[in-house]
Amino acid sequence: MGTLLGFAALMGFGGAIISLLISKPMAKWSTRAQVINDSSDPTHRLDRRHRAGFAQKAGIGMPEVAIYDGEPNAFATGAFKNSALVAVSTGLLHSMNRDEVEAVIGHEVAHVANGDMVTLTLIQGVMNTFVVFLSRVIGYFVDKVILKNDREASASATS
C-alpha cells in the first residue's frame, strides 16, 4: 500500500505541477489572447499604469496582461508570482466602465499575489493522488473479489 500511495502521489502531483508550469502558454494559446503590455493604444497605456500600481502594492512583478474575445470574464494564471498572466475578455471590457475594469484587474492581481494558482495546484495534486490511489484499490478489489481473477491459480491451471 505504501508503494501504491507513493506512485499515486508521484502521478497526482506530477500532473498538477506540469499543468501549472504550462498554464500561461496554454491560456494564451487556447483563448487566442493578445498580450497588450507594449501596446501603443492609449487605453492600454492607461491600464499599464494601473497594473503597475497594483503589482507594486501587491509586492510582485507586473504580470503580462492580455485581451481575448469572449463573454465577460477574467482570469489569472502562471506558475510564478513575478511572471504571471492576467487576461480579460472583450465582453468584460465592453460591459464595464474603466473603474470596474480596473477593479477586476486588481482582483486578478490579488490572486497572483496570494499565490492562488499554487494553492489550487496543491489541492489538484491531493485530489489526483486520491483518484489514482482509490482507482487502483477499487480495480484490485473488482479483479480479485468480483471477477475472481487469480493469476497464480490460472497459471497453474494452464500448466
Is 16 in a helix, a strand, or coil?
helix
Residue 71 is among the residues annotated as catalytic for this protein: no
* Residue spans of alpha helices (H) in 33-150: 42-58, 90-95, 98-114, 116-141
What contacts 86, CB < 8 A, 6 or more positions away? 51, 63, 64, 65, 66, 74, 75, 76, 105, 108, 109, 112
Task: Write down the catalytic residue from 64, 102, 108, 152.
Answer: 108
CA distance 127 to 140: 20
Q: Where do we find the cell 492607461?
A: 46
Is 75 in a helix, a strand, or coil?
strand
Q: Which residues are catalytic?
A: 108
